[in-house]
Structure 1
Amino acid sequence: MVTPAGTLALLHTSPVHVPVFDGLRDRYHPGLVLRHLVDEELLRRARSSGSDAVAGPVAAALAAAVADGADAVLCTCSTIGGTAERQAGALGVPVLRVDRPMAAEAARYRRVVVVAALRSTLEPTVSLIAEESGPEPSFVSTVVVEGAWELFEAGDRDGYLDAVAASVDRAPLSEDSVVVLAQASMADAVERMSTRRPVLASPRLGLAAAAEAVAASAAVRAGRD
Protein backbone atom coordinates (compact mmCIF):
# COMPACT_ATOMS: atom_id res chain seq x y z
CA MET A 1 0.00 0.00 0.00
CA VAL A 2 1.42 3.38 -1.01
CA THR A 3 0.85 6.07 1.61
CA PRO A 4 0.23 9.62 0.33
CA ALA A 5 3.08 12.01 1.07
CA GLY A 6 3.09 13.13 4.66
CA THR A 7 5.31 13.21 7.73
CA LEU A 8 4.96 11.14 10.87
CA ALA A 9 7.02 11.94 13.97
CA LEU A 10 7.67 9.01 16.28
CA LEU A 11 8.50 9.49 19.95
CA HIS A 12 10.64 6.59 21.22
CA THR A 13 12.19 5.85 24.58
CA SER A 14 14.78 3.51 23.04
CA PRO A 15 16.80 3.72 19.81
CA VAL A 16 16.08 0.04 19.07
CA HIS A 17 12.68 1.04 17.71
CA VAL A 18 14.06 3.18 14.89
CA PRO A 19 15.05 0.35 12.49
CA VAL A 20 11.88 -1.59 13.37
CA PHE A 21 9.57 1.21 12.26
CA ASP A 22 11.76 2.09 9.29
CA GLY A 23 11.45 -1.51 8.13
CA LEU A 24 7.67 -1.54 8.57
CA ARG A 25 7.41 1.74 6.68
CA ASP A 26 9.49 0.40 3.80
CA ARG A 27 7.37 -2.74 3.59
CA TYR A 28 3.86 -1.41 4.13
CA HIS A 29 3.86 2.39 3.74
CA PRO A 30 6.38 3.55 1.12
CA GLY A 31 6.20 7.30 0.69
CA LEU A 32 5.56 7.96 4.38
CA VAL A 33 8.26 10.20 5.85
CA LEU A 34 9.34 9.23 9.37
CA ARG A 35 11.11 11.51 11.83
CA HIS A 36 12.39 9.71 14.91
CA LEU A 37 12.65 11.41 18.30
CA VAL A 38 14.47 9.31 20.91
CA ASP A 39 14.52 10.25 24.60
CA GLU A 40 15.45 7.39 26.91
CA GLU A 41 15.16 9.60 29.99
CA LEU A 42 11.38 9.81 29.58
CA LEU A 43 10.91 6.14 30.44
CA ARG A 44 13.37 6.27 33.32
CA ARG A 45 11.50 9.22 34.86
CA ALA A 46 8.09 7.67 34.24
CA ARG A 47 9.17 4.44 35.93
CA SER A 48 10.53 6.22 38.99
CA SER A 49 7.99 9.01 39.40
CA GLY A 50 4.94 8.09 37.33
CA SER A 51 3.81 9.11 33.86
CA ASP A 52 2.53 12.50 35.07
CA ALA A 53 6.14 13.44 35.83
CA VAL A 54 6.98 13.46 32.12
CA ALA A 55 3.90 15.32 30.88
CA GLY A 56 5.85 18.55 30.38
CA PRO A 57 8.80 17.05 28.49
CA VAL A 58 6.47 14.92 26.35
CA ALA A 59 4.35 17.95 25.47
CA ALA A 60 7.46 19.94 24.55
CA ALA A 61 8.84 17.15 22.35
CA LEU A 62 5.56 16.73 20.51
CA ALA A 63 5.11 20.48 20.04
CA ALA A 64 8.59 20.71 18.53
CA ALA A 65 7.77 17.85 16.15
CA VAL A 66 4.60 19.57 14.98
CA ALA A 67 6.43 22.88 14.56
CA ASP A 68 8.91 20.99 12.39
CA GLY A 69 6.12 19.89 10.06
CA ALA A 70 4.79 16.59 11.44
CA ASP A 71 1.27 15.78 10.22
CA ALA A 72 0.79 13.33 13.10
CA VAL A 73 2.76 11.90 16.01
CA LEU A 74 3.04 8.29 17.20
CA CYS A 75 4.31 7.45 20.69
CA THR A 76 5.89 3.99 20.67
CA CYS A 77 6.29 3.66 24.46
CA SER A 78 3.33 2.02 26.20
CA THR A 79 4.25 3.46 29.59
CA ILE A 80 3.89 7.08 28.45
CA GLY A 81 1.46 6.51 25.57
CA GLY A 82 -1.53 7.90 27.43
CA THR A 83 0.43 10.99 28.42
CA ALA A 84 1.31 11.61 24.78
CA GLU A 85 -2.19 10.94 23.52
CA ARG A 86 -3.66 13.59 25.79
CA GLN A 87 -1.63 16.30 24.00
CA ALA A 88 -3.60 16.01 20.76
CA GLY A 89 -6.06 18.80 21.54
CA ALA A 90 -3.34 21.34 22.21
CA LEU A 91 -1.25 20.38 19.18
CA GLY A 92 -3.92 20.37 16.50
CA VAL A 93 -2.69 17.15 14.82
CA PRO A 94 -3.41 13.49 15.61
CA VAL A 95 -1.33 12.07 18.46
CA LEU A 96 -1.51 8.29 18.67
CA ARG A 97 -0.24 5.67 21.07
CA VAL A 98 1.20 2.65 19.33
CA ASP A 99 -0.71 0.10 21.42
CA ARG A 100 -4.30 1.36 20.96
CA PRO A 101 -5.00 -0.58 17.72
CA MET A 102 -3.55 -3.70 19.36
CA ALA A 103 -5.76 -3.20 22.40
CA ALA A 104 -8.83 -2.80 20.19
CA GLU A 105 -8.03 -6.09 18.47
CA ALA A 106 -7.38 -7.84 21.82
CA ALA A 107 -10.72 -6.64 23.21
CA ARG A 108 -12.49 -8.89 20.69
CA TYR A 109 -11.30 -11.94 22.61
CA ARG A 110 -12.86 -13.39 25.74
CA ARG A 111 -9.53 -13.83 27.54
CA VAL A 112 -6.44 -11.68 27.19
CA VAL A 113 -2.99 -12.44 28.58
CA VAL A 114 -0.84 -9.30 28.77
CA VAL A 115 2.90 -10.00 28.77
CA ALA A 116 5.38 -7.30 29.77
CA ALA A 117 9.03 -6.98 30.70
CA LEU A 118 8.28 -3.85 32.75
CA ARG A 119 5.65 -3.71 35.49
CA SER A 120 5.10 -0.03 34.69
CA THR A 121 3.64 -1.12 31.33
CA LEU A 122 0.98 -3.41 32.76
CA GLU A 123 -1.47 -0.85 34.15
CA PRO A 124 -1.58 1.36 31.02
CA THR A 125 -2.04 -1.68 28.78
CA VAL A 126 -4.74 -3.32 30.90
CA SER A 127 -6.59 -0.01 31.21
CA LEU A 128 -6.43 0.52 27.46
CA ILE A 129 -7.89 -2.93 26.75
CA ALA A 130 -10.71 -2.20 29.21
CA GLU A 131 -11.31 1.13 27.47
CA GLU A 132 -11.58 -0.61 24.10
CA SER A 133 -13.84 -3.40 25.40
CA GLY A 134 -17.54 -3.54 24.68
CA PRO A 135 -20.44 -4.38 27.04
CA GLU A 136 -18.85 -7.76 27.85
CA PRO A 137 -15.28 -6.92 28.94
CA SER A 138 -12.50 -9.39 28.36
CA PHE A 139 -10.97 -11.23 31.30
CA VAL A 140 -7.39 -9.93 31.49
CA SER A 141 -4.48 -11.62 33.23
CA THR A 142 -0.88 -10.42 33.30
CA VAL A 143 2.59 -11.94 33.08
CA VAL A 144 5.85 -10.16 33.91
CA VAL A 145 8.91 -11.69 32.25
CA GLU A 146 11.29 -11.51 35.18
CA GLY A 147 14.84 -10.56 34.25
CA ALA A 148 13.98 -9.75 30.64
CA TRP A 149 14.33 -5.98 30.97
CA GLU A 150 17.80 -6.35 32.42
CA LEU A 151 18.75 -8.28 29.28
CA PHE A 152 17.26 -5.54 27.11
CA GLU A 153 19.16 -2.81 28.95
CA ALA A 154 22.38 -4.83 28.65
CA GLY A 155 21.95 -4.94 24.87
CA ASP A 156 21.30 -8.69 24.79
CA ARG A 157 18.49 -8.58 22.24
CA ASP A 158 18.48 -12.32 21.56
CA GLY A 159 18.37 -13.13 25.25
CA TYR A 160 15.55 -10.64 25.75
CA LEU A 161 13.44 -12.01 22.89
CA ASP A 162 14.10 -15.61 23.93
CA ALA A 163 12.97 -14.83 27.49
CA VAL A 164 9.75 -13.24 26.23
CA ALA A 165 9.05 -16.15 23.88
CA ALA A 166 9.71 -18.74 26.59
CA SER A 167 7.41 -16.92 28.99
CA VAL A 168 4.56 -16.93 26.46
CA ASP A 169 5.10 -20.61 25.66
CA ARG A 170 4.90 -21.45 29.38
CA ALA A 171 1.72 -19.44 29.97
CA PRO A 172 -1.48 -21.46 30.45
CA LEU A 173 -3.60 -20.38 27.47
CA SER A 174 -7.17 -21.44 26.78
CA GLU A 175 -8.80 -21.84 23.37
CA ASP A 176 -10.53 -18.45 23.69
CA SER A 177 -7.45 -16.43 24.68
CA VAL A 178 -5.09 -14.04 22.93
CA VAL A 179 -1.62 -12.93 23.98
CA VAL A 180 -0.78 -9.22 24.01
CA LEU A 181 2.87 -8.16 23.98
CA ALA A 182 2.68 -4.94 25.96
CA GLN A 183 5.92 -3.39 24.69
CA ALA A 184 6.85 -2.63 21.11
CA SER A 185 10.35 -4.03 21.73
CA MET A 186 8.82 -7.51 22.16
CA ALA A 187 7.41 -7.79 18.63
CA ASP A 188 10.18 -9.96 17.13
CA ALA A 189 9.72 -12.53 19.89
CA VAL A 190 6.62 -13.80 18.04
CA GLU A 191 8.86 -15.62 15.56
CA ARG A 192 10.50 -17.53 18.43
CA MET A 193 7.30 -18.84 20.01
CA SER A 194 5.65 -22.24 19.60
CA THR A 195 2.20 -21.28 20.96
CA ARG A 196 -0.73 -21.78 18.62
CA ARG A 197 -2.78 -18.99 20.13
CA PRO A 198 -2.86 -15.55 18.47
CA VAL A 199 -0.12 -13.19 19.64
CA LEU A 200 -0.56 -9.45 19.09
CA ALA A 201 2.29 -6.95 18.89
CA SER A 202 1.89 -3.21 18.51
CA PRO A 203 4.36 -1.88 15.90
CA ARG A 204 2.69 -2.93 12.63
CA LEU A 205 -0.85 -2.18 13.80
CA GLY A 206 0.17 1.13 15.38
CA LEU A 207 2.07 2.33 12.33
CA ALA A 208 -0.84 1.46 10.05
CA ALA A 209 -3.20 3.59 12.14
CA ALA A 210 -0.67 6.42 12.23
CA ALA A 211 -0.21 6.28 8.44
CA GLU A 212 -3.95 6.74 8.00
CA ALA A 213 -3.90 9.68 10.41
CA VAL A 214 -1.00 11.25 8.50
CA ALA A 215 -2.85 10.99 5.19
CA ALA A 216 -5.97 12.63 6.65
CA SER A 217 -4.00 15.35 8.44
CA ALA A 218 -1.85 16.10 5.39
CA ALA A 219 -4.96 16.43 3.25
CA VAL A 220 -6.47 18.92 5.68
CA ARG A 221 -3.25 20.92 5.82
CA ALA A 222 -3.05 20.96 2.00
CA GLY A 223 -6.59 22.25 1.83
CA ARG A 224 -5.69 25.18 4.06
CA ASP A 225 -2.58 26.12 2.06
Structure 2
Amino acid sequence: MITIAFLHTSNVHIERFENLVKKFDKNIQTKHYVNEKLLNYALKNSQLDSEGFKKELQNIKKINPNLIICTCSTYGEECDNSNDIKRIDFPITNYLVSKYKKIALVYTASSTERVSSNLIQRIANDKNKEIEILICDCSESWIHFENNNFEKYEKTIASKIKKVATKADVVFLAQASMEGVKKHLLNLGIEIFSSPEFGIKNYLNK
Protein backbone atom coordinates (compact mmCIF):
# COMPACT_ATOMS: atom_id res chain seq x y z
CA MET A 1 0.00 0.00 0.00
CA ILE A 2 1.21 3.51 -0.86
CA THR A 3 1.78 5.77 2.13
CA ILE A 4 1.91 9.57 2.02
CA ALA A 5 3.24 11.42 5.05
CA PHE A 6 2.34 15.06 5.59
CA LEU A 7 4.25 17.63 7.60
CA HIS A 8 1.87 20.34 8.83
CA THR A 9 2.42 23.35 11.08
CA SER A 10 -1.21 23.38 12.25
CA ASN A 11 -3.76 20.70 13.16
CA VAL A 12 -6.40 22.38 11.00
CA HIS A 13 -4.73 21.02 7.87
CA ILE A 14 -5.12 17.35 8.76
CA GLU A 15 -8.77 16.97 7.75
CA ARG A 16 -8.35 19.04 4.57
CA PHE A 17 -5.48 16.96 3.22
CA GLU A 18 -6.94 13.68 4.42
CA ASN A 19 -10.10 14.42 2.44
CA LEU A 20 -8.14 15.50 -0.63
CA VAL A 21 -6.13 12.29 -0.77
CA LYS A 22 -9.27 10.17 -0.33
CA LYS A 23 -10.99 12.20 -3.07
CA PHE A 24 -8.40 11.05 -5.60
CA ASP A 25 -7.46 7.63 -4.23
CA LYS A 26 -9.18 5.90 -1.31
CA ASN A 27 -6.51 3.19 -1.20
CA ILE A 28 -3.64 5.48 -0.20
CA GLN A 29 -2.62 5.41 3.45
CA THR A 30 -1.84 8.75 5.08
CA LYS A 31 0.18 9.79 8.11
CA HIS A 32 0.01 13.31 9.51
CA TYR A 33 2.78 14.96 11.50
CA VAL A 34 2.15 18.36 13.09
CA ASN A 35 4.89 20.66 14.37
CA GLU A 36 3.46 24.08 15.22
CA LYS A 37 6.80 25.17 16.69
CA LEU A 38 8.34 25.41 13.22
CA LEU A 39 5.99 28.15 12.04
CA ASN A 40 5.92 29.89 15.41
CA TYR A 41 9.72 30.09 15.31
CA ALA A 42 9.70 31.54 11.79
CA LEU A 43 7.10 34.17 12.67
CA LYS A 44 8.87 35.17 15.87
CA ASN A 45 12.44 35.21 14.56
CA SER A 46 11.95 36.13 10.88
CA GLN A 47 14.03 33.10 9.93
CA LEU A 48 13.49 29.38 9.57
CA ASP A 49 14.24 26.71 12.13
CA SER A 50 16.31 24.65 9.70
CA GLU A 51 17.54 22.22 12.34
CA GLY A 52 14.05 21.68 13.69
CA PHE A 53 12.78 21.04 10.17
CA LYS A 54 15.54 18.51 9.46
CA LYS A 55 14.85 16.67 12.73
CA GLU A 56 11.15 16.47 11.91
CA LEU A 57 11.93 15.16 8.44
CA GLN A 58 14.24 12.49 9.84
CA ASN A 59 11.49 11.45 12.26
CA ILE A 60 8.98 11.10 9.42
CA LYS A 61 11.40 9.09 7.30
CA LYS A 62 11.46 6.38 9.98
CA ILE A 63 8.13 5.03 8.68
CA ASN A 64 9.53 4.87 5.11
CA PRO A 65 6.62 6.59 3.34
CA ASN A 66 6.45 6.61 -0.45
CA LEU A 67 6.04 10.38 -0.45
CA ILE A 68 6.47 13.19 2.09
CA ILE A 69 4.71 16.52 1.50
CA CYS A 70 5.19 19.72 3.48
CA THR A 71 1.98 21.77 3.56
CA CYS A 72 3.59 24.87 5.08
CA SER A 73 4.63 27.37 2.40
CA THR A 74 7.02 29.09 4.79
CA TYR A 75 9.26 26.01 4.81
CA GLY A 76 9.15 25.55 1.05
CA GLU A 77 12.79 26.48 0.57
CA GLU A 78 13.83 23.92 3.16
CA CYS A 79 12.03 21.34 1.00
CA ASP A 80 14.03 22.54 -2.01
CA ASN A 81 17.21 21.62 -0.14
CA SER A 82 16.13 17.99 0.24
CA ASN A 83 15.23 15.21 -2.17
CA ASP A 84 13.10 13.56 0.50
CA ILE A 85 10.21 16.01 0.79
CA LYS A 86 7.97 17.88 -1.66
CA ARG A 87 6.50 21.34 -1.15
CA ILE A 88 2.73 21.57 -1.66
CA ASP A 89 2.95 24.91 -3.46
CA PHE A 90 5.34 24.01 -6.29
CA PRO A 91 2.81 22.46 -8.74
CA ILE A 92 0.35 25.36 -8.60
CA THR A 93 3.10 27.99 -8.75
CA ASN A 94 4.61 26.33 -11.79
CA TYR A 95 1.18 26.32 -13.46
CA LEU A 96 0.46 29.97 -12.65
CA VAL A 97 3.81 31.20 -13.94
CA SER A 98 3.27 29.21 -17.15
CA LYS A 99 -0.16 30.69 -17.77
CA TYR A 100 -0.23 34.22 -16.30
CA LYS A 101 1.89 37.36 -16.14
CA LYS A 102 0.43 39.48 -13.31
CA ILE A 103 0.06 37.29 -10.23
CA ALA A 104 -1.54 38.62 -7.05
CA LEU A 105 0.31 36.89 -4.21
CA VAL A 106 -1.89 36.68 -1.11
CA TYR A 107 -0.44 35.75 2.27
CA THR A 108 -1.27 36.08 5.97
CA ALA A 109 1.88 34.68 7.58
CA SER A 110 4.59 37.27 7.00
CA SER A 111 7.17 34.48 6.72
CA THR A 112 5.47 33.23 3.55
CA GLU A 113 5.80 36.36 1.41
CA ARG A 114 9.53 36.08 0.68
CA VAL A 115 9.49 32.31 0.16
CA SER A 116 6.54 32.37 -2.24
CA SER A 117 7.86 35.38 -4.15
CA ASN A 118 11.21 33.65 -4.56
CA LEU A 119 9.54 30.52 -5.91
CA ILE A 120 7.51 32.49 -8.46
CA GLN A 121 10.58 34.40 -9.60
CA ARG A 122 12.77 31.30 -9.76
CA ILE A 123 10.28 29.44 -11.94
CA ALA A 124 9.83 32.53 -14.13
CA ASN A 125 13.61 32.76 -14.58
CA ASP A 126 13.76 29.08 -15.54
CA LYS A 127 11.09 29.73 -18.16
CA ASN A 128 12.68 33.01 -19.32
CA LYS A 129 9.41 34.75 -18.61
CA GLU A 130 8.68 38.24 -17.28
CA ILE A 131 6.38 38.06 -14.26
CA GLU A 132 4.82 40.82 -12.18
CA ILE A 133 4.06 39.94 -8.56
CA LEU A 134 1.34 42.05 -6.94
CA ILE A 135 1.68 41.72 -3.18
CA CYS A 136 -1.56 41.38 -1.21
CA ASP A 137 -0.52 41.60 2.44
CA CYS A 138 -3.24 40.09 4.62
CA SER A 139 -1.05 39.64 7.69
CA GLU A 140 -3.61 41.54 9.79
CA SER A 141 -5.91 38.54 9.32
CA TRP A 142 -3.44 36.07 10.85
CA ILE A 143 -4.64 36.79 14.38
CA HIS A 144 -8.06 35.40 13.43
CA PHE A 145 -6.45 32.13 12.33
CA GLU A 146 -4.57 31.91 15.61
CA ASN A 147 -7.84 32.49 17.45
CA ASN A 148 -9.60 29.78 15.40
CA ASN A 149 -12.02 32.37 14.02
CA PHE A 150 -11.81 30.97 10.50
CA GLU A 151 -14.86 32.76 9.10
CA LYS A 152 -13.45 36.17 10.01
CA TYR A 153 -10.04 35.03 8.77
CA GLU A 154 -11.47 34.19 5.36
CA LYS A 155 -13.75 37.23 5.04
CA THR A 156 -11.06 39.77 5.91
CA ILE A 157 -8.71 38.18 3.38
CA ALA A 158 -11.44 38.23 0.73
CA SER A 159 -11.99 41.93 1.36
CA LYS A 160 -8.31 42.69 0.74
CA ILE A 161 -8.22 40.55 -2.41
CA LYS A 162 -11.08 42.49 -4.00
CA LYS A 163 -8.95 45.64 -3.88
CA VAL A 164 -5.99 44.12 -5.75
CA ALA A 165 -7.86 41.81 -8.13
CA THR A 166 -8.59 44.57 -10.66
CA LYS A 167 -4.85 44.91 -11.35
CA ALA A 168 -4.06 41.19 -11.57
CA ASP A 169 -4.51 38.37 -14.09
CA VAL A 170 -4.92 35.75 -11.37
CA VAL A 171 -5.00 35.43 -7.58
CA PHE A 172 -2.70 33.00 -5.77
CA LEU A 173 -3.56 32.08 -2.18
CA ALA A 174 -0.06 31.26 -1.00
CA GLN A 175 -1.00 29.33 2.14
CA ALA A 176 -3.05 26.16 2.54
CA SER A 177 -4.98 27.83 5.38
CA MET A 178 -6.60 30.23 2.91
CA GLU A 179 -8.42 27.58 0.86
CA GLY A 180 -11.80 28.61 2.32
CA VAL A 181 -11.45 32.18 1.04
CA LYS A 182 -12.60 31.07 -2.42
CA LYS A 183 -16.23 30.69 -1.37
CA HIS A 184 -16.33 34.40 -0.51
CA LEU A 185 -15.06 35.42 -3.96
CA LEU A 186 -17.34 33.57 -6.36
CA ASN A 187 -17.84 36.67 -8.55
CA LEU A 188 -14.31 38.03 -8.44
CA GLY A 189 -13.95 38.25 -12.22
CA ILE A 190 -10.58 36.48 -12.37
CA GLU A 191 -9.53 33.00 -11.33
CA ILE A 192 -8.31 32.30 -7.82
CA PHE A 193 -6.03 29.37 -7.01
CA SER A 194 -4.64 27.71 -3.90
CA SER A 195 -2.07 24.97 -3.47
CA PRO A 196 -3.76 22.02 -1.65
CA GLU A 197 -5.95 20.32 -4.26
CA PHE A 198 -3.76 21.23 -7.22
CA GLY A 199 -0.68 19.96 -5.40
CA ILE A 200 -2.20 16.67 -4.26
CA LYS A 201 -3.64 15.98 -7.70
CA ASN A 202 -0.25 16.63 -9.27
CA TYR A 203 1.77 14.52 -6.85
CA LEU A 204 -0.69 11.63 -7.17
CA ASN A 205 -0.61 11.96 -10.98
CA LYS A 206 -4.40 12.16 -11.09
TM-score (norm 2): 0.91
- Size of the aligned set, in residue pairs, is 202
- 1:133-152 matches, cutoff 5 A: 133=124, 134-152=127-145
Q: Cα RMSD over matched residues?
A: 1.7
- 1:143-222 matches, cutoff 5 A: 143-174=136-167, 177-193=169-185, 194-212=187-205
**Pick from 56, 59, 62: which aligns with 1:64?**
59
User: 1:223 corresponds to which residue?
Assistant: none
1-structure distance, mates of 2:165, 2:175? 20
- Are positions 1:116 and 2:107 aligned together? yes
The question of whether the paired residues in 1 share the 8 Å contact of 2:176 and 2:195 is answered with: yes
User: 1:101 corresponds to which residue?
Assistant: 91
2-structure distance, mates of 1:79, 1:116? 10
The question of whether the paired residues in 1 share the 8 Å contact of 2:104 and 2:165 is answered with: no
The question of whether the paired residues in 1 share the 8 Å contact of 2:103 and 2:132 is answered with: yes
Structure 2 residues without counterparts, runs of 5 or longer: none
Structure 1 residues without counterparts, runs of 5 or longer: 216-225
**% identity of equivalent residues:** 24
Q: Secondary structure at the match of 2:74?
A: coil
The C-alpha deviation readout for 1:142-196, integer Å capped at 9, x for no partner, is 011142100000010111011112221222424x611110110001111111312
The question of whether the paired residues in 2 share the 8 Å contact of 1:9 and 1:34 is answered with: yes
TM-score (norm 1): 0.84
State the structure with more CA Rg. Answer: 1
2-structure distance, mates of 1:207, 1:132? 19
The question of whether the paired residues in 2 share the 8 Å contact of 1:112 and 1:138 is answered with: yes
The C-alpha deviation readout for 1:73-122, integer Å capped at 9, x for no partner, is 1000011121133122xxxx4x1101111111110201001011122111
